[in-house]
Structure 1
Amino acid sequence: MCALDQKHASKFNENTENYIKQIASVDSSFKQIVKQAKRKDIVVGDRFPLLYFAKEYGLTYSAAFPGCSEQTEPSASTISYLIDKVKKDQNPVIFKIELSNGQIARTISEETGAKVLTIQSMHNVSEEDFNNGETYVSIMRKNAKAVKEALQ
C-alpha cells in the first residue's frame, strides 16, 4: 500500500506497527494465562476448529466433534465421555463456538454445573459484532478472558 499511496506511507507504517504490537500483546496474554493456569485442558461441547490454537499454547482438548466436522449430533458415548471428563477434572467451563446453538454445551453444563462460554474460532463474526466494530484483536481478548476462566 505504501508503494501505491506514498503520501500516506508513514500512516500505513504507523498503523502496521501498532497492529503488530496489539497482536503481540494478545499472544503474550495467552502465554501468561497458560503459564499460570491450574489446568491445561479445555472442553468444547461443539466442533473444534481450534487445533492450531491449542497446539500453539500447549493446551489439550476434548470436543464433541473433531475439527469442523459436518456432523450435527454427537454420539451418546461422546456426550457421556465429556460429562464424565468435566465431572472428574472439575472443569469450570464448557465451551461452545460462535454462532452455534450451544445445545450440546448446555446439555453437558446441565449435568455438570460447568459454565457455558463462547470461544471464537475467528471463522465467523456475527452481524452485531461487525456493526459494533469488533476486530480480531478485540475478539481474541475476549477469548483470552474466557480461556483464563476455563483454566482456573
Structure 2
Amino acid sequence: MRKTKLSAIVLSAVFLAACGNNEAADNNTNNAEENSNTAATNEEENEAAEDQDPITVKTTLFPLEYFAQEIGGDYVEVENIVPVGADAHTFEPSSNQMIEIAEADLFIYNGVEFEGFTESVQEAVEGQNVEMVTASEGIDLISYSHGINDDHDHDHDHDHDHDNDHGHNHDDNNDDHDHDHDDDNHGHNHDDNNDDHDHDHSHGDEDPHLWLDPKRAAEQAENIKNALSEANPDAADTFEENYEELLTQFEELDEQFVELSENMTQDIIVVSHAGYGYWEEEYGIRQLGIAGLSPSNEPSIQQMEETIEFMEDNDINYVMFEQNIPENITETVREQVGAESLELHNLEVLVEEDVENEETYFSLMEQNLETLNTALR
C-alpha cells in the first residue's frame, strides 16, 4: 500500500510539474508574441516616419522645443532659434533665420508679447506655407506683477484642481489678484497702452511665463500636439500617445509643487526678474523681481534700496540667480543684504552646462523644486 501511495504521489507531482512547464511555455510563447507584436508596431512606426519627410519645426523657447520633440518623436525635426545662453527677451532673429522659418512647416512661439520679433516674422513669412502656432492660444493668463506690493492682498485661495481638463478660472478682474503697477511697486513704469511695440521687449498686461506652471505647460503641449496632428494626420495617434506620457509627468510635477506649498514656512523668493508669477497664482509662492518682468529693465538705485530694505525687514536670506541673466545687479543686492545665493532656472533657454548634462524640461523643474525647498522651508 505504501508503495502504491508513494507511486501515486510521484506520478501526481510529475503531472503537475508537466502542467506547470506547459503553462510556463505557453506564457513564454504569449509574452514572446506580445513583445514581437510591440516590436513590429514600433518598427512599423519608425519605418512610416522614415518613409516621409519630417515636419520641420522652429521654436522660440526651450520648453516649446522640448514639447515638440517629445510629442513628435521621429516624425519631427525641431530647432530652437534662440541660441544657447541668450536672453530670450531681447533676442532678434537673423536674416538667415527668417529664411529658415519661412521654409519650415511650423513656427511655434509663446505669444503674450513675449517675443518682440513676432510681427517681423509674420511679415517675412507672408505668402509662405509655414504655419504660425501660438503656444499660449486659449490658455487662461494672469496679470503680471513685478513683485511684492505691501498694499496687495495675498490671501489667496489656492484650490488645486487636478482633473484632466486643466481648468483654470482666472478672473482678471478679481480683486484678490489686482496687481497694481504704480510707483509703490518698486518703481517700475511701463506704458502698456502703447500700441507701437517697436521691439522694446516690454510685456503687456498679462504674464507670458506660463510654461513655468505645470498645468499651463500641459496646455501648451496640447496646442503643439494639435498643430503636429494637423501637419501629419497619419501620425496623430502617435502624437496623442506621446502627449499622454507628457501629461502624466506634468501632473506629477504639479503634485510636487502642491506638496511644497503645503509645507513651506516662508512664501517669498527674491529673483533676478519677476518671471514666476504663476507660482504665486497656483502655489502661493510670492516673488520680488529685482529687474521687474524683463531682465532688460535695469532697476534704479531707489528700487534696489527698496528691495534690500524689504529683504532685511522680512528676514529673507536667499537671492535667486538665473542661468541666462547678468549677475551684477543681483549680486549687488545679495552682498548688501548678506544673503546666500541660489540658482533658479527660468527654462527660457539652455546654457552650455544644461546641454552637456542633457537636461530636460522636467529635470530642470525638479532642480527648481530643490531650490525652492531650500529657500522656503
**Corresponding residue number in structure 2 for 1:125:** 350
2:282 is aligned with 1:52: no
Which residue of the other structure, out of 245, 257, 260, is the alignment partner of 1:33? 260
Take 2:254 and 2:338, find their aligned partners in 1: how far apart are those partners?
30
Deviations 1:99-144 (A, max 9, x none): 1222222212212222111212221111331232111100000111
Which residue of the other structure, out of 317, 324, 327, is the alignment partner of 1:99? 324
Q: Contact 2:279/2:286 (CA < 8 Å) preserved in 1? A: no
Unpaired runs of at least 5, structure 1? none
Which residue of the other structure, out of 126, 145, 148, is the alignment partner of 2:370? 145
Q: Contact 2:276/2:287 (CA < 8 Å) preserved in 1? A: no
Matched AA of 1:40: D
Take 1:95 and 1:76, find their aligned partners in 2: how far apart are those partners?
19
- After TM superposition, give the deviation of residue 5 of structure 1 in Å: 4.2
Take 1:124 and 1:53, find their aligned partners in 2: how far apart are those partners?
19
**Corresponding residue number in structure 1 for 2:234:** 4
Higher relative contact order (CA 8 A, sep 6+): 1
- After TM superposition, give the deviation of residue 69 of structure 1 in Å: 4.9
**Corresponding residue number in structure 2 for 1:136:** 361
| TM-score (norm. length: structure 2) | 0.36
Matched AA of 1:56: E
Q: Contact 1:41/1:151 (CA < 8 Å) preserved in 2? A: yes
Q: Contact 1:98/1:120 (CA < 8 Å) preserved in 2? A: yes
Unpaired runs of at least 5, structure 2? 1-228
Q: How many residues align?
A: 147
Which residue of the other structure, out of 51, 65, 68, is the alignment partner of 2:294? 68
RMSD: 2.3
- After TM superposition, give the deviation of residue 146 of structure 1 in Å: 0.8
- After TM superposition, give the deviation of residue 65 of structure 1 in Å: 2.1
| TM-score (norm. length: structure 1) | 0.82
2:345 is aligned with 1:115: no
2:85 is aligned with 1:85: no
Q: Which of structure 1's runs of 4+ aligned residues deviate more than 6 A?
A: none
Structure with higher Rg: it is 2
- After TM superposition, give the deviation of residue 52 of structure 1 in Å: 2.2
- After TM superposition, give the deviation of residue 94 of structure 1 in Å: 0.9
Deviations 1:65-124 (A, max 9, x none): 2212532x3211111111112222111211122212222222122122221112122211
1:26–1:70: structure 2 CA closer, same or farther, 3 Å change rule?
Answer: same
Matched AA of 1:4: D
